[in-house]
């Protein structure tokens, strides 16, 4: 995928402007949220069957003693699309559609305190990373696809094939799975999304915890390879989400003609 790098400070006015109307990697997880679809076991079963795995093996992979009889599973096996975008995904689609029209960030550059903290600590995390790994991390700002549809705020680019992302989690709910179990499900879409947008092959994911300098371990670093199978599934979901954004943008642009010469009627 062809992309370009916009040199800017993350959190700056230029950065917010560059992201307006772009589906960003930090929100890929929201964009992929579905309801009334397959649960995890059903998904594993359907994927296995469609891949040509035997019925017995597919049940074993998904943890079923007997084949699932859900209508949703049957529809999925017949090749039908199951599930629909969640309300959170639809609201995010509206925001992107609105920003496409206005050219301005809908949230007016608002940052949570967690985001602000992350931006403040990022230089320290990057420095720790460079010392620990002996690498040079190039600050990237914002990377966007040539069609300006998808983007990623890569915290750093390393050489020609790598990149980096730094997180400064403070909640036990977020930190415990990462530090003790190396579970990164909360940010997997973002990291694989960064590799998809930038075309990179690997990513260093660092969790920066200054408080753990007490045990000389301020940076928990994980090395992730590009997963093309995961990216392929993610891309399919994101293209469906883009179609929703396109539809909402068309609906917004049609408002003037639809509401004249009379007032709009409430639903």
Tens of pLDDT, residue by residue over 175-195, are: 999 999 999 999 999 999 999
Q: Could you give the CA distance from residue 88 to residue 94 in angstroms, rounded to a whole number?
A: 10
Parallel, antiparallel, or unpaired: how do β-strands 202-208 and 162-167 relate? parallel
Count structural domains, the chain: 1
pLDDT tens readout for residues 140-168: 899 999 999 999 999 999 999 999 999 99
In a domain, 140, yes or no: yes
* In a domain? residue 95: no
Indicate if the pLDDT at residue 84 is higher than 70.
yes
Residue 144 bridge partners (DSSP) = 4, 151
Domain membership of residue 118 (yes or no) is: yes
Which residues have C-beta within 8 Å of that of residue 207, sequence separation ≥ 6? 166, 167, 168, 169, 175, 178, 179, 219, 220, 221, 222
pLDDT of 209 > 80? The answer is yes
Q: What is the pLDDT of residue 82?
A: 83
Note the pLDDT of residue 24: 98
> Residue 149's domain spans which residues?
3-26+112-253
Residue 164 within any structural domain of the chain: yes
Contact 179, 170 (CB under 8 A): no
- Is 43 part of any domain? no
**233 in a structural domain:** yes
Q: For residue range 119-146, what is the model confidence (pLDDT) as tens digits?
A: 778 999 999 999 999 999 999 899 999 9
What pLDDT score does 261 carry? 64
> What is the CA angle 164-191-248, rounded to 5?
130
- Global pTM? 0.84
The pLDDT assigned to 37 comes to 85
For the stretch 22-43, pLDDT in tens is 999 999 999 999 998 888 888 8
The answer to whether position 207 is within a domain reads yes
Q: Where are the alpha helices (DSSP H) in 85-164?
A: 87-102, 113-133
pLDDT band at 214 (very low <50, low <70, confident <90, very high): very high
Domain contains 177: yes
pLDDT band at 263 (very low <50, low <70, confident <90, very high): low
Instruction: Report the CATH number that the domain containing residue 130 is assigned in CATH.
Output: 3.90.320.10
Averaged confidence pLDDT in the chain: 91
């Amino acid at each position: 995928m062809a992309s370009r790098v916009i040199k800017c400070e993350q959190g700056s006015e230029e950065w917010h402007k560059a992201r307006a109307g772009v589906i960003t990697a930090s929100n890929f997880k929201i964009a992929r949220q579905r309801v009334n679809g397959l649960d995890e076991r059903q998904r594993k079963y359907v994927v296995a069957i469609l891949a040509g795995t035997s019925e017995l093996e597919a049940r074993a992979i998904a943890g079923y003693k007997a084949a699932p009889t859900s209508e949703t599973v049957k529809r999925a096996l017949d090749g039908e699309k199951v599930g629909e975008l969640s309300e959170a995904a639809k609201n995010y689609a509206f925001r992107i559609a609105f920003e496409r029209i206005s050219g301005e960030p809908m949230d007016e550059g608002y940052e949570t305190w967690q985001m602000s903290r992350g931006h403040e600590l990022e230089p320290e995390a990057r420095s720790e990373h460079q010392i620990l790994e002996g690498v040079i991390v190039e600050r990237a700002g914002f990377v966007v696809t040539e069609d300006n549809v998808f983007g990623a705020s890569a915290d750093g680019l390393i050489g020609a094939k790598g990149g980096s992302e730094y997180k400064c989690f403070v909640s036990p709910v977020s930190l415990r799975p990462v530090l003790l179990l190396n579970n990164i499900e909360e940010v997997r879409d973002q990291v694989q999304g960064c590799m998809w947008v930038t075309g990179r092959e690997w990513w260093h994911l660092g969790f920066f915890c200054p408080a753990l300098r007490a045990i000389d371990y301020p940076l928990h670093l994980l090395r992730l390879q590009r997963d093309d199978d995961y990216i392929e599934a993610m891309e399919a979901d994101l293209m469906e989400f883009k179609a929703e954004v396109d539809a909402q943008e068309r609906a917004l642009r049609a408002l003037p003609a639809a509401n004249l010469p009379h007032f709009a009627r409430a639903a």
